[in-house]
Structure 1
Amino acid sequence: MADAGRESLTDKATSALKPDSEKTYVEQATDYVKGTLDSVASAVQPQQEKSTTQKIGDAVTGDNRNKDIA
């Protein structure tokens, strides 16, 4: 389960598996907006409030700009 305001790892993986060339413009725009919102949520949420799953997901995707490690 994703933390509040975060995209689930399943949704991220599903989106990443389908090449952009096979996505509609709406799908591409939706992916961009969701990714941007998830990045913002990751940056503002304190590390100690993230679930283990989100910490791992942020580390794997490189979206761990919040270095407040607890």
Structure 2
Amino acid sequence: MSDMGRQDLSSKASAALKPDSEKSYVEQASDSVKGALDSVASAVQPQQEKSTTQKIGDAVTGDNTNRHLA
């Protein structure tokens, strides 16, 4: 199983836990781009190729648009 191009759960959590008011504009832009790229990667990666942690993370974040492909 490969999660290439995916953001790991700890990175997602740390980005979500730090308020935007405490982030620089560069951090905010970086989080936004990483989040968008992760959502795209989630949508195109077949469910059967995702690790268990990515499946859980996708379910929690709502990035499980291709769940019917499992």
Partner of 2:42: 42
Deviation of 1:69 after TM superposition, in Å, equals: 4.5
What's the % identity of the aligned pairs? 77
Partner of 1:27: 27
2: CA distance between counterparts of 1:69 and 1:37? 20
2:45 matched to 1:59?
no
- How well do the aligned residues superpose, as a CA RMSD in angstroms? 1.2
Moved over 3 A (4+): none
- SS state of the match for residue 64, structure 1? coil
Deviates more, 1:30-39 or 1:2-11: 2-11
Q: Which runs of 5+ in 1 are unaligned?
A: none
Alignment TM-score, normalising by the size of structure 2: 0.93
Equivalent pairs counted in the alignment come to 69
Q: Which runs of 5+ in 2 are unaligned?
A: none
1: CA distance between counterparts of 2:43 and 2:69? 12
Between 1 and 2, higher relative CO (CA 8 Å, sep ≥ 6) is seen in: 2
Question: Structure 2: which amino acid aligns with 1:46?
Answer: P
Alignment TM-score, normalising by the size of structure 1: 0.93
Deviation of 1:67 after TM superposition, in Å, equals: 2.0
1: CA distance between counterparts of 2:34 and 2:24? 15
